[in-house]
């Protein structure tokens, strides 16, 4: 890219970037299956990416669950349907709000982190040094990170959903008195696999998009300290955009498959 | 290229085997022609210093030698094998014989000094015996005088210490060829001199063939067997440090004007 950047402008540059991303994707795919898989780095990334994001996802999901209940309650009371609050929360949280909020948090935290980390490694010649030291940087840095994010975002979403539902339970008990067993029985009774499965599948794509964008932006940053910030910023913006695009596509596919 | 020879030395010293042979090497980045016609032969055990102004593309030549960059035209042979036609496995095999000290040291930020040093051993040499690995780590750390830094992170080291550890990491695989990219840049004169002397000591200890890219005249004086001067994408003068010092070539004189 760096060489092309000097000559290409406008739509040609955009097309070159698309081509470059396709090449990067092919290299990623090829390196999953060839050579040894970097298990220790993959586990380390799962810890760094997943475990270290858990607190943030947990707090956000807890607040989202509580706020949704507090916002929904007056309207539901107006229609005498406060009994539907657990169901409404469960469906909205599991189908849409949980996955999207978790993905956006991960886009902000993880994509920018990966973009900045790989960008600074590029600037300080660490990626070149890795290559000279006999490691395949795509295998060591890119494959492990993309797969770790793809693996951890669905897990974080499930954890976030559970914490969000618990937040909703506590919020509901500010004003009403609902037992723990009644609340969760209502939730379990109101959701089926068509709520959970499509949401879970789309989080896998969210995770992949976040990891891929972060790695691509970091790996292809130019050699200058300014480009580290650009890579991090651009990774967040692009990954967030992809989350919405995937969500829009997912809702269409889910509608056709599950809610005819 | 103007050749400035020391008659006595040239007559008495038999030429050793050529380990690096570069003919008509060209490399451009977009419209910028960085290397226009590079020709160089480096003999076994020789220390060749490449002098040139900043941004002239001195580093590009050694990045081509190690396969980090692909030249546009010309021939580049290392140990008689054409680097430009090598596949990934052949490049990996070649890199087992080449050490590359990056300008910034390029230590991996997330790893301790020990992990940095173990990295090429486990990747390139596929060493598994912990005792053998520890012996090698201790040996090179003793060589660069930093045994106490073994468990430190790169962020805890000074610029000079980073360069030493970078040097230790490249020497740990016992390479036959060493490529130094501005090894003394950014260091104070005392540390620069220490690094230059260390390069010379290590060359004597490990019997390496070296190309040293620099614009530090003191480093060139200490480390060089032969000096080539680069200007406008090609080498324009060649000789020992002392003969070039007395050369009439205008560009050579500009480099040596501050040397007493």
Over the stretch A31-84, which tens digit does the pLDDT of each residue have?
888 877 888 899 999 999 999 999 999 999 999 999 999 999 998 888 888 888
Asked if B123 lies within 8 A of A134 by C-beta distance, the reply is: yes
Asked if B124 lies within 8 A of A125 by C-beta distance, the reply is: no
Q: What is the pLDDT of residue B7?
A: 41
A221 contacts A227 by C-beta, under 8 angstroms: yes
| List of residues 6+ apart from A207 with CB closer than 8 A | A103, A106, A149, A150, A151, A152, A153, A154
CA distance to partner chain A, nearest, from residue B14 (Å):
32
Of the ranges A15-29, A98-112, B27-41, which is most confident?
A: A98-112
Other residues' Cβ atoms within 10 Å of the Cβ of residue B181: 21
Asked if B109 lies within 8 A of A133 by C-beta distance, the reply is: no
Of the ranges B6-15, B59-68, B230-239, which is most confident?
A: B59-68
A:B CB pairs within 8 Å:
57
Q: How confident is the model at residue B8 (pLDDT cuts 50, 70, 90)?
A: very low
- Least confident range from A1-10, A235-244, B46-55: namely A1-10
For the segment B239-252, the average pLDDT, to the nearest whole number, is 83
CA distance to partner chain B, nearest, from residue A126 (Å):
5
**Closest partner CB to A134 (pick from B92, B103, B107):** B92
- Does residue A244 carry a pLDDT above 60? yes
Q: In terms of C-beta density within 10 A (0-12 exposed, 13-18 middle, 19 or more buried), how is residue B7 classed?
A: exposed
Q: How confident is the model at residue A250 (pLDDT cuts 50, 70, 90)?
A: very high
Q: What is the pLDDT of residue B189?
A: 84
B-chain CB neighbours of A130 within 8 Å are 108, 119
Q: What ipTM describes this predicted complex?
A: 0.82
Which CA distances in Å does A120 have to A125, B12, B100?
8, 50, 19
Instruction: Compute the distance between CA of residue A32 and CA of residue B158 in angstroms, rounded to an integer.
Output: 37
Pick the CATH number of B1-97+215-260 from 3.30.1540.10, 3.40.640.10, 3.40.50.150, 3.40.50.300: 3.40.50.300
Q: What is the DSSP letter of B97?
A: S
Q: B29 to chain A: nearest residue by CA?
A: A3
The model scores a pTM over 0.90: no
A154 contacts A207 by C-beta, under 8 angstroms: yes
Instruction: Compute the distance between CA of residue A87 and CA of residue A69 in angstroms, rounded to an integer.
Output: 11
B210 contacts B199 by C-beta, under 8 angstroms: yes
Instruction: Compute the distance between CA of residue B56 and CA of residue B232 in angstroms, rounded to an integer.
Output: 7
Q: Name the pairing type of β-strands B226-231 and B234-239.
A: antiparallel
Q: B119 to chain A: nearest residue by CA?
A: A133
Instruction: Compute the distance between CA of residue B167 and CA of residue B22 in angstroms, rounded to an integer.
Output: 25
> What SS3 class is residue B158?
coil
Query: pLDDT by residue (tens digit) across A124-144?
Result: 889 999 888 878 899 999 999
* Residue carrying structure tokens 């902000």: A108
B-chain CB neighbours of A223 within 8 Å are none
Q: How confident is the model at residue B14 (pLDDT cuts 50, 70, 90)?
A: low
> What SS3 class is residue A259?
coil
- Does residue A7 carry a pLDDT above 80? no
Percentage of residues in chain A having pLDDT higher than 90:
60
B-chain CB neighbours of A125 within 8 Å are 102-104, 106
Of the residues B123, B167, B186, the best mutation for testing chain A's interface (the one with the most A CB atoms within 10 Å of its CB) is B123
Query: pLDDT by residue (tens digit) across A208-237?
Result: 999 999 999 999 887 777 889 999 999 999
CA distance to partner chain B, nearest, from residue A175 (Å):
49
Mean pLDDT over each residue of chain A, to the nearest integer:
90
B-chain CB neighbours of A129 within 8 Å are 100, 102, 106-108
**Closest partner CB to B123 (pick from A3, A7, A133):** A133
Instruction: Compute the distance between CA of residue A131 and CA of residue A170 in angstroms, rounded to an integer.
Output: 53
**Closest partner CB to B102 (pick from A5, A120, A125):** A125
Q: What is the pLDDT of residue B3?
A: 53
**Closest partner CB to A135 (pick from B96, B103, B123):** B123
| List of residues 6+ apart from B243 with CB closer than 8 A | B4, B5, B6
* Residue carrying structure tokens 């095999």: B93
For the segment A118-128, the average pLDDT, to the nearest whole number, is 91
Asked if A134 lies within 8 A of B120 by C-beta distance, the reply is: yes
Instruction: Compute the distance between CA of residue B149 and CA of residue A221 in angstroms, rounded to an integer.
Output: 31
Helix (H), strand (E) counts: chain A: 13, 0
Q: What is the pLDDT of residue A195?
A: 87
Q: B117 to chain A: nearest residue by CA?
A: A133
> What SS3 class is residue B232?
coil
> What SS3 class is residue A179?
coil
- Does residue B12 carry a pLDDT above 70? no
Query: pLDDT by residue (tens digit) across A196-213?
Result: 899 999 999 999 999 999
Asked if B124 lies within 8 A of A134 by C-beta distance, the reply is: yes
- What is the DSSP secondary-structure string of B118-138? HHHHHHTS----HHHHHHHHH
- Does residue A9 carry a pLDDT above 80? no
Higher-pLDDT residue of B160, A197: A197
For the segment B87-111, the average pLDDT, to the nearest whole number, is 88
Instruction: Compute the distance between CA of residue A160 and CA of residue B151 in angstroms, rounded to an integer.
Output: 37
Q: What is the pLDDT of residue B160?
A: 83
Q: A6 to chain B: nearest residue by CA?
A: B30
Q: What is the pLDDT of residue B259?
A: 67
For the segment B131-159, the average pLDDT, to the nearest whole number, is 89
């Amino acid at each position: 890219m760096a060489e092309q950047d000097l000559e290409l402008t406008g739509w040609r540059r955009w097309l070159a970037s698309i081509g470059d991303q396709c090449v990067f994707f092919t290299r990623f795919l090829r390196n999953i299956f060839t050579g040894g898989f970097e298990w220790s780095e993959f586990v380390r990334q799962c810890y760094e990416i997943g475990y270290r994001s858990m607190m943030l996802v947990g707090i956000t999901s807890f607040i989202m669950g509580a706020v949704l209940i507090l916002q929904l309650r007056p309207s539901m009371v107006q229609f005498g349907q406060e009994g539907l609050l657990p169901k409404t929360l469960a469906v909205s949280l599991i189908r849409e709000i949980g996955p999207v909020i978790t993905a956006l948090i991960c886009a902000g935290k993880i994509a920018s982190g990966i973009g900045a980390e790989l960008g600074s490694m590029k600037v300080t010649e660490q990626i070149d040094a890795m290559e000279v030291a006999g490691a395949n940087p795509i295998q060591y840095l890119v494959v492990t990170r993309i797969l770790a994010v793809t693996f951890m975002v669905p897990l974080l979403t499930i954890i976030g959903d559970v914490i969000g539902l618990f937040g909703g339970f506590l919020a509901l008990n500010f004003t009403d008195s609902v037992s723990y067993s009644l609340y969760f029985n209502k939730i379990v009774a109101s959701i089926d696999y068509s709520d959970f499965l499509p949401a879970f599948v789309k989080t896998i794509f969210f995770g992949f998009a976040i990891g891929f964008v972060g790695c691509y932006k970091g790996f292809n940053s130019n050699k200058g300290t300014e480009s580290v910030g650009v890579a991090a910023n651009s990774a967040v913006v692009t990954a967030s955009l992809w989350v919405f695009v995937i969500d829009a596509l997912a809702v269409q596919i889910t509608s056709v498959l599950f809610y005819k | 290229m103007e050749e400035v020879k020391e008659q006595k030395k040239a007559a008495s010293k038999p030429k050793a085997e050529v380990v690096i042979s570069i003919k008509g090497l060209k490399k451009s980045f977009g419209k910028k022609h960085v290397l226009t016609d590079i020709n160089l032969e480096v003999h076994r055990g020789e220390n060749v210093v490449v002098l040139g102004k900043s941004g002239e593309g001195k580093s590009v030549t050694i990045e081509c030698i190690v396969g980090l960059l692909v030249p546009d035209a010309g021939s580049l042979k290392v140990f008689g094998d054409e680097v430009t036609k090598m596949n990934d496995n052949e490049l990996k095999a070649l890199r087992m014989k080449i050490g590359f000290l990056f300008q910034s040291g390029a230590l991996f930020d997330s790893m301790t000094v020990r992990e940095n040093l173990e990295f090429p051993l486990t990747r390139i040499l596929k060493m598994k015996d912990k005792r053998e690995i520890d012996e090698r780590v201790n040996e090179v750390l003793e060589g660069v005088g930093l045994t106490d830094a073994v468990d430190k992170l790169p962020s805890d080291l000074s610029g000079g210490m980073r360069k030493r550890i970078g040097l230790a990491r490249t020497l740990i695989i016992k390479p036959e060829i060493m490529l130094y990219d501005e090894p003394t840049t950014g260091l104070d004169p005392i540390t620069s001199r220490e690094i230059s002397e260390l390069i010379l000591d290590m060359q004597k200890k490990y019997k390496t063939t070296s190309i040293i890219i620099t614009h530090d005249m003191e480093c060139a004086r200490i480390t060089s067997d032969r000096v080539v001067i680069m200007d406008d994408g090609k080498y324009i003068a060649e000789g020992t440090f002392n003969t070039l010092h007395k050369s009439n070539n205008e560009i050579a004189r500009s480099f040596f004007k501050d040397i007493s």
